[in-house]
Amino acid sequence: MRERIVLDLGKLPLHGLGTASVTWWGTLAFMLIEGTGFALAIAVYLYLMSMATAWPINTQAPDLLPGTLVTLILLASLVPNVLLSRWAEQQDLGKVRIGIVIMSLLGTVPLIVRIFEFPALKVSWDSNAYGSVVWTLLGLHTIHIITDLVDTLVLAALMFTRHGHSPRRFGDVQDNAMYWNFVVATWLPIYGCIYWLARL
Amino acid sequence: MLATPLAGCGGNWQSALDVYGTSAISLKHLIILIVAVCSAVWMLVMAALIAALWRGRDARPAPAEPGRERRLTIAVIGAVVATVLIISTFTIMSFIATRALTVAGQDDLTIRVRGLQWWWGLEYVGPDPSSRFETANEIHIPVGRNVRLKLEGVDVIHSVWVPSLAGKQDLVPGRPNELTIRAEHAGVYRGQCAEFCGMQHAHMALLVIAETQDDFDQWAAAQRQAAARPPDEETAAGLQTFLAKPCAACHTIRGTAAAGTSGPDLTHVGSRRTIAAGLFETTRGSLAAWIADPQTIKPGNNMPMVPLTPDELRAVSAYLASLK
Amino acid sequence: MNRPATTTGMRDIDIARTKLTGALAETWTTPSGFWGALATVDHKIIGRRYIFTAFVFLALGGVLAALMRIQLAQPEARLLGPDRYNQIFTMHGANMMFLFAVPVMEAVAVYLVPLMVGTRNIAFPRLNAFSYWIYLAGGMLLWTAFALDMGPDVGWFAYVPLSGPQYGAGKRADIWAQMITFTELSALAVAVELVVTIFKQRAPGMTLDRIPVFVWAMLVTSFLVIMAMPAIMIASTSLILDRLVGTHFYNPAEGGDVLLWQHLFWFFGHPEVYIIFLPAAGMVSTMIEPFARRPAFGYLGLVMALIATGILSFGLWVHHMFVAGLPRLGDSFFTASSMAIAIPAGIQIFCWIATLWDGRPVFKTPLLFIIGFIVTFVIGGLTGVMVASVPFDTQVHDTYFVVAHFHYVLIGGAVFPLLGTIHYWFPKLTGRMMSETLGRWSFWLIFIGFNATFFPMHILGLEGMPRRIYTYQPDLPWHGLNLFISLSAVILIAGFLLFFVNVIRSARSGEVAPDNPWDAPTLEWATTSPPPSYNFAMIPVVGSLHPLWSERDTLPVADGLRTDRRELIVTTLATAEPQARDASPQNSIWPLWAAIATTIMLIWSIFSPWAVVWGSIPVAVALIGWFWPKGTPEDES
Q: Scan residues 501-560 of C and list those with Cβ closer than 8 Å to A.
A: 515, 526, 537-539, 541, 548, 553-560
Nearest to B12 among C159, C298, C463 (CB): C463
**Does residue B305 have a pLDDT over 90?**
yes
Q: What confidence tens digit (pLDDT) does each residue in A5-14 have?
A: 999 998 999 8
pLDDT at residue B10 in the model: 43
pLDDT at residue B97 in the model: 83
Task: Give the DSSP per-residue string, C520-587.
Answer: --SGGGGS-SSPPTTS-SSEE---SSSHHHHSSSEEEEEE---SSS-EEEEE-TTT--EEEEEE-PPP
Report, as an integer, the average pLDDT of C267-294: 96
Nearest to A129 among C256, C515, C538 (CB): C256
Higher pLDDT, B232 or B103: B232
pLDDT at residue A10 in the model: 87
The number of angstroms, rounded, from the C-alpha of C515 to the middle of its chain's C-alpha atoms is 26
Contact C161 B173 (CB under 8 A): yes
Contact A129 C248 (CB under 8 A): yes
Chain B nearest-CA distance from C319, in A, is 13
CA distance B76 to B51: 15
Nearest CA-CA partner of A62 in A152, A123, A9: A123
CATH 1.20.120.80 fits A21-199, yes or no: yes
Q: Which residue of C has its CA nearest to B154?
A: C161
Q: What confidence tens digit (pLDDT) does each residue in C94-137 have?
A: 999 999 999 999 999 999 999 999 999 999 999 999 999 999 99
Chain A nearest-CA distance from C33, in A, is 31
pLDDT at residue C331 in the model: 83
pLDDT at residue B59 in the model: 56
Q: What confidence tens digit (pLDDT) does each residue in C362-390 have?
A: 999 999 999 999 999 999 999 999 999 99
Secondary structure class of B153 (helix, strand, coil): strand
Q: Any idea which architecture B109-224 has in CATH?
A: Sandwich (2.60)
- CATH homologous superfamily of B233-322: Cupredoxins -  blue copper proteins (2.60.40.420)
B126 — pLDDT class (breaks 50, 70, 90): confident
Nearest CA-CA partner of C583 in A168, A97, B178, B277: A168
Nearest CA-CA partner of C284 in C410, C368, C341, C227: C368
Write the DSSP symbol of residue C281: H
The residue type of B253 is I
Q: Scan residues 237-266 of C and list those with Cβ closer than 8 Å to B.
A: 252-253, 257-259
**Does residue C299 have a pLDDT over 50?**
yes
Write the DSSP symbol of residue C475: T
Nearest to C385 among B90, B164, B167 (CB): B90
**Does residue B28 have a pLDDT over 90?**
yes
Question: Worst-scoring range by mean pLDDT, A76-80, A146-150, B68-72, C95-99?
Answer: B68-72
Chain B nearest-CA distance from C479, in A, is 13
pLDDT at residue B11 in the model: 53
Q: Which residue of C has its CA nearest to A10?
A: C560
Nearest to A130 among C245, C255, C624 (CB): C255
Reported CATH class of domain C47-585 = mainly alpha
Report, as an integer, the average pLDDT of B163-176: 95
For residue C401, give every residue at least 6 positions away whose Cβ sits within 8 Å of its Cβ, in sequence order, or none: C383, C387, C457, C458, C460, C461, C462
CA distance A143 to A186: 12
Q: Scan residues 129-168 of A and list those with Cβ closer than 8 Å to C.
A: 129-133, 135-136, 150, 154, 158, 162-163, 166-168
pLDDT at residue C332 in the model: 84
The residue type of C581 is R
Provide the b/e sequence for C258-274 (b: ≥16 CB within 10 Å). Answer: bbbbbbbbbbbbbbbbb
Report, as an integer, the average pLDDT of C292-307: 95
The residue type of B183 is A
pLDDT at residue C635 in the model: 81
CA angle in degrees (0–180, nearest 5) for C627-C116-C566: 35
State whether residue A200 sits within 8 Å of chain C by CB.
no
pLDDT at residue B131 in the model: 86
State whether residue C337 sits within 8 Å of chain B by CB.
no
**Does residue B21 have a pLDDT over 50?**
yes
Q: Which residue of C has its CA nearest to A157?
A: C628
Nearest CA-CA partner of B98 in C26, C469, C333: C333
Query: How many beta carbons lie within 10 A of that of residue C177, not counting itself?
Result: 28
CA distance C476 to A196: 58
B4 — pLDDT class (breaks 50, 70, 90): very low
State whether residue B91 sits within 8 Å of chain C by CB.
yes
Q: What confidence tens digit (pLDDT) does each residue in C507-526 have?
A: 999 999 999 999 999 999 99
Every domain of chain B and the residues it spans: 22-57+66-101, 109-224, 233-322
For residue C227, give every residue at least 6 positions away whose Cβ sits within 8 Å of its Cβ, in sequence order, or none: A32, A36, C271, C314
pLDDT at residue C8 in the model: 47
B96 — pLDDT class (breaks 50, 70, 90): confident
CA distance C485 to B86: 32
**Does residue C455 have a pLDDT over 80?**
yes
CA distance C67 to C61: 10
Q: Identify whether the C-beta of residue B210 lies closer than 8 Å to the C-beta of residue B142.
A: yes
Q: Identify whether the C-beta of residue C104 lies closer than 8 Å to the C-beta of residue C131.
A: no
CA distance B54 to B56: 6
**Does residue C1 have a pLDDT over 70?**
no
CA distance C389 to C332: 8
Q: What confidence tens digit (pLDDT) does each residue in C566-588 have?
A: 999 999 999 999 999 999 999 99
Helix (H) or strand (E) holding B141: strand B138-142
The number of angstroms, rounded, from the C-alpha of C258 to the middle of its chain's C-alpha atoms is 30
Question: Which of C333, C394, C470 is the best mutation test for B, with the most CBs of B within 10 A?
Answer: C394
Every domain of chain C and the residues it spans: 47-585, 586-637
**Does residue C223 have a pLDDT over 60?**
yes
pLDDT at residue B58 in the model: 66
State whether residue C339 sits within 8 Å of chain B by CB.
yes
CA angle in degrees (0–180, nearest 5) for C478-B97-C344: 85
Query: HSE on the CB side for C602, CA within 13 Å?
Result: 27
Phi/psi for C211 (5° steps) reads -80, 130
Question: What is chain B's length?
Answer: 324
Q: Cβ contacts (< 8 Å) between A54 and chain C: which residues?
A: none
Burial class of residue B107 (count of CB atoms within 10 Å of its CB; 0-12, 13-18, 19+): middle
Q: What confidence tens digit (pLDDT) does each residue in C543-562 have?
A: 999 999 998 889 999 998 99
CA distance C297 to C141: 45
Q: Which residue of A has its CA nearest to C194?
A: A26
DSSP E strands: which ranges in C147-209?
none
Q: Scan residues 150-179 of B and list those with Cβ closer than 8 Å to C.
A: 151, 153, 155-157, 159, 161, 163-164, 166-170, 172-175, 177
Q: What confidence tens digit (pLDDT) does each residue in B191-205 have?
A: 999 999 999 999 999
Q: Identify whether the C-beta of residue B111 lies closer than 8 Å to the C-beta of residue B139.
A: yes
Secondary structure class of C117 (helix, strand, coil): coil
CA distance C473 to C465: 11
CA distance C165 to C243: 5
Chain C nearest-CA distance from B236, in A, is 34
Contact B170 C396 (CB under 8 A): no
Contact C256 A132 (CB under 8 A): yes
Q: What confidence tens digit (pLDDT) does each residue in A95-114 have?
A: 999 999 999 999 999 999 99
* Beta bridge partners of residue B123, listed in sequence order: B112, B134
Sheet of B187-192: strand order equals B138-142, B205-211, B187-192
Chain C nearest-CA distance from B237, in A, is 34
Report, as an integer, the average pLDDT of C185-201: 97
CA angle in degrees (0–180, nearest 5) for C93-C94-C98: 120
pLDDT at residue B12 in the model: 66
Q: Identify whether the C-beta of residue C386 lies closer than 8 Å to the C-beta of residue B50.
A: no
Provide the b/e sequence for B256-277 (b: ≥16 CB within 10 Å). Answer: bebeeeebbbbbbbbebebbbb
Calculate Rg over the CA atoms of chain C: 25
Q: What confidence tens digit (pLDDT) does each residue in C401-435 have?
A: 999 999 999 999 999 999 999 999 999 999 999 99
Contact B98 C332 (CB under 8 A): yes
Q: What confidence tens digit (pLDDT) does each residue in B61-72 have?
A: 555 566 888 888
Contact B174 C358 (CB under 8 A): no
pLDDT at residue C552 in the model: 87
Contact C264 A14 (CB under 8 A): no
The residue type of C160 is V
Nearest CA-CA partner of C409 in C335, C320, C322, C342: C342
Average pLDDT, rounded, for chain B = 90
C481 — pLDDT class (breaks 50, 70, 90): very high
Confidence (pTM): 0.95
CA distance C135 to C132: 5
Q: Identify whether the C-beta of residue A129 lies closer than 8 Å to the C-beta of residue A84.
A: no
Q: Cβ contacts (< 8 Å) between A8 and chain C: which residues?
A: 558-560
**Does residue B7 have a pLDDT over 50?**
no
Q: Cβ contacts (< 8 Å) between C569 and chain A: which residues?
A: 9, 12
pLDDT at residue B232 in the model: 92
For residue C25, give every residue at least 6 positions away whose Cβ sits within 8 Å of its Cβ, in sequence order, or none: C532, C533, C534
Every domain of chain A and the residues it spans: 21-199
Phi/psi for B272 (5° steps) reads -80, 150
* Beta bridge partners of residue C568, listed in sequence order: C582
State whether residue B84 sits within 8 Å of chain C by CB.
yes
State whether residue C7 sits within 8 Å of chain A by CB.
no
Report, as an integer, the average pLDDT of B209-226: 95
Q: What confidence tens digit (pLDDT) does each residue in C590-611 have?
A: 999 999 999 999 999 999 999 9
Report, as an integer, the average pLDDT of B100-127: 86
For residue C256, give every residue at least 6 positions away whose Cβ sits within 8 Å of its Cβ, in sequence order, or none: A48, A128, A129, A132, C242, C248, C249, C250
Query: How many beta carbons lie within 10 A of that of residue A165, not counting itself?
Result: 12
Kind of pairing between the strands at B138-142 and B158-160:
unpaired
Chains contacting chain A through 3 or more C-beta pairs under 8 A: C
State whether residue C233 sits within 8 Å of chain A by CB.
yes
Nearest to C382 among B42, B52, B201 (CB): B42
